[in-house]
Amino acid sequence: MAKNYLNNKDLLFEICKSKDEGKLTKTAITMLMLLSARAIERLRYRDEEDKKDCLAFARLDLFKYWDRFNPEKSSNAFAYFTQIAKKGYAKGWNKLHPQKYSGTVSIDGGDDGSQIYSI
């Protein structure tokens, strides 16, 4: 793969074109897919299925929130969409591996298993 697999100028152009058309162009879709696939390579997963699921969450967010990019506020589309992808990976991971009340221990009361305390 080339060193500059995707550059900001081209991505910015396609996103602006997509905003004008009211939907993602095929080229923009390809670019966002490529960006998300490349960015996840920096992360490590024990299970390949978890990696695929987290990638799917990121892509869902990219396609869901692409139109929120404002080229008048920032011209760095690459950084914007990379951040959305990163948050999508995290959202996927937290969905797959919930750690509700991390660092707490629940004490069960009675035989029905109802919790009475969280420490």
pLDDT digits (tens, 9 = 90+) for 25-62: 999 999 999 999 999 999 999 899 999 999 999 999 99
Range of the domain at 71: 8-118
Per the CB < 8 A criterion, the answer to whether 96 and 46 are in contact is: no
Q: Residue 118 pLDDT more than 50?
A: no
The number of domains in the chain is: 1
DSSP three-state, residue 3? coil
In a domain? residue 1: no
Q: What is the pLDDT of residues 62-96, one digit of tens each?
A: 999 999 999 999 999 999 999 999 999 999 999 99
Q: Model-level pTM?
A: 0.79
Give the confidence band of 107 by pLDDT, cuts at 50, 70, 90.
low
Cα–Cα dist 33/56, whole Å: 10
Cα–Cα dist 88/70, whole Å: 19
User: What pLDDT score does 116 carry?
Assistant: 47
In a domain? residue 61: yes
User: What pLDDT score does 79 carry?
Assistant: 96
